[in-house]
Amino acid sequence: MSDQPDTTRGTGETGDRRDFLQLLTARLGSAVLTERSSTARYAHDEAEWAPYVPPLAVVRAASTDDVVEAVRLCLEHGVAVVPRGAGTGLSGGANAGADTVVLSLERMDRVLEVDTQEKLAVAQPGVVNDHLRAVVAEHGLWYPPDPASAPWSTIGGNVATNAGGLCCVKYGVTGDYVRELEVVTGTGEVVRLGHRTAKGVAGYDLKSLFVGSEGTLGVVTEVTVRLRPARPPERTVAGYFDSVVEAGAAVAATLASGVVPSALELVDRACLEAVDDWKKMGLSLEANVVLLGRTDTPGADGEADADAIRAAFEGAGAGFVAVSGDSQESEALFAARRLAYPALERLGPVLTEDVCVPVGHVPTMLERIQTTATAYDVHIANIAHAGDGNLHPLIITRPGDDAQRERAQQAFEIILADALALGGTVTGEHGVGLLKRPGLGRELAGEVVAMQRAVKGALDPHGIFNPGKAIV
């Protein structure tokens, strides 16, 4: 329902801001929320300890016209805009700052078109990833990007962070599938970027600038993605290891074998036990680490790929290896992988890392993470898109333990530094947001920072889009 502006809530609103809120409500009606009780859940994403403050208002846009109206009003009144999808981010990229309007795109949730000849789909930004995948599957097509949050995260949010997922070791990340974007710019105009055609090299690739820009350059209001034909059933290889270092060696051996797995995921015992405690799935195993490999190569070649993955696991010291073509059994293991983060959240605040290193350095990086856990006396559980070097160490803390929280934050920064020292990056798919800005400053050369600031200034000349995020 619509809220009337609460002008006595103690946020230091000026008369100009009260006038702005009244005008916003007059123009957009029930799309606008201003009461603290209504706006609270839109104030932040899932990033632990990333700062935020209550926004001035939330606009729940239902159309591109709503977005244009909100952006133009914010431009006229000098109010910053924080675009938001489902709020599943883990870097603080959707967190509200002082004097901001959160622009929620969750109501723009329709799949507008599926073109089976061109193998394209057109979706609004609030479409949930798994919903898009289900819709195109009805046409015998497949949308590969599949972040672990696919049952909850939206296509717009996936574009904002250039999300990857379990399949990205073979099939790439979101940006590899974006053909065209509709965007509301920093001057309140609607533009289309990219091409529906399979090829399109006319002019600068502005579309790709917006992929991964975390809402700092404009608001994406429509996404055209390319699709692939439905793929054959996968074979799953599960290997049990005594340590994450051994499992890391198995990752390197698998990739050195020449096989390109369709997934290669690492889950440690702490994650599996947390899932079992929550969902009673019975997946706790006699292993400290489980490595899950998959191949979707059809026929005899697929059998050969599965055998090569098994040999790589065994050669790296796996105590047990099994190959399964049973889809239910395989999906149970991968369901545990997807549920690991929310399961661990039930134990206490979780500070989530997202570093990515060259795959040859995965064993070394995993060993350094263990060393950091010991040095800072913190509990770190590990999940990883191990096949492309994207590691997600999860630092778990006790509720209310401020000393442990401080150590966790110190460990977080050490892990970033270790990833950079190994030639890696501070984020593989979660984005920079607020949490990774100090690390980004260490990763990028000054000249590159200046280039990024120049792009920001050119495309968002009034600086209204998601200020203080993603760049340094």
Average pLDDT over residues 65-90: 97
pLDDT attached to residue 8: 33
Q: State yes or no: pLDDT of 3 exceeds 50.
A: no
Mean pLDDT check: name the lowest of 25-39, 92-106, 339-353: 339-353
Which domains, and CATH codes, for the chain?
15-104 (3.30.43.10), 111-229 (3.30.465.10), 232-340 (3.30.70.2190)
pLDDT attached to residue 325: 67
Tokens 């950091």 locate to 372
pLDDT attached to residue 338: 85
Angle, to 10 degrees, between the axis of helix 64-77 and the axis of helix 15-28? 160
Between CA 200 and CA 194 the distance in angstroms is 7
**Beta strands at 57-60 and 100-104: parallel, antiparallel or unpaired:** parallel
Percent over 90 (pLDDT), the chain: 87
Distances in Å between the alpha carbon of 206 and those of 192, 212, 326?
A: 10, 12, 44
Q: pLDDT tier at 6 (50, 70, 90 boundaries)? A: very low
Reported in sequence order, the residue ranges of 156-273 that DSSP labels E, i.e. its strands, are: 178-184, 190-194, 219-226, 228-229, 235-241, 263-268
Average pLDDT over residues 381-397: 95
Distances in Å between the alpha carbon of 192 and those of 180, 181, 358, 464?
A: 7, 6, 35, 20
Task: Please write the tens of the pLDDT for every residue from 394-417.
Answer: 999 999 999 999 999 999 999 999
Q: State yes or no: pLDDT of 12 exceeds 50.
A: no
Q: State yes or no: pLDDT of 110 exceeds 70.
A: yes
Average pLDDT over residues 379-383: 95
Name the residue with higher pLDDT: 282 or 364. Answer: 364
Q: 353-380 in b/e burial notation, b at 16+ Cβ within 10 A?
A: bbbbbebebbbbbbebbbebbeebebbb
Task: Please write the tens of the pLDDT for every residue from 447-466.
Answer: 999 999 999 999 999 999 99
Task: Please write the tens of the pLDDT for every residue from 247-305.
Answer: 999 999 999 999 999 999 999 989 989 988 898 877 766 788 999 999 999 999 999 99
- C-alpha angle 20-26-30 in degrees, rounded to nearest 5: 110
Mean pLDDT computed over every residue of the chain: 93
Q: State yes or no: pLDDT of 5 exceeds 60.
A: no
Average pLDDT over residues 21-43: 96
Average pLDDT over residues 416-444: 97
Task: Please write the tens of the pLDDT for every residue from 143-166.
Answer: 999 998 999 999 999 999 999 999
Percent over 70 (pLDDT), the chain: 96
How distant is the alpha carbon of residue 431 from its chain centre? 7
Between CA 334 and CA 376 the distance in angstroms is 31
Average pLDDT over residues 342-347: 91
Q: State yes or no: pLDDT of 7 exceeds 50.
A: no
Average pLDDT over residues 440-446: 96
Q: State yes or no: pLDDT of 14 exceeds 70.
A: no
Q: State yes or no: pLDDT of 4 exceeds 80.
A: no
In this prediction the pTM is 0.93
pLDDT attached to residue 72: 98
Between CA 459 and CA 208 the distance in angstroms is 13
Reported in sequence order, the residue ranges of 212-338 that DSSP labels E, i.e. its strands, are: 219-226, 228-229, 235-241, 263-268, 289-295, 320-324
Between CA 459 and CA 217 the distance in angstroms is 6
Average pLDDT over residues 114-131: 98
Average pLDDT over residues 109-135: 98
Q: State yes or no: pLDDT of 419 exceeds 70.
A: yes
Q: State yes or no: pLDDT of 9 exceeds 70.
A: no
pLDDT attached to residue 286: 72
pLDDT attached to residue 13: 57
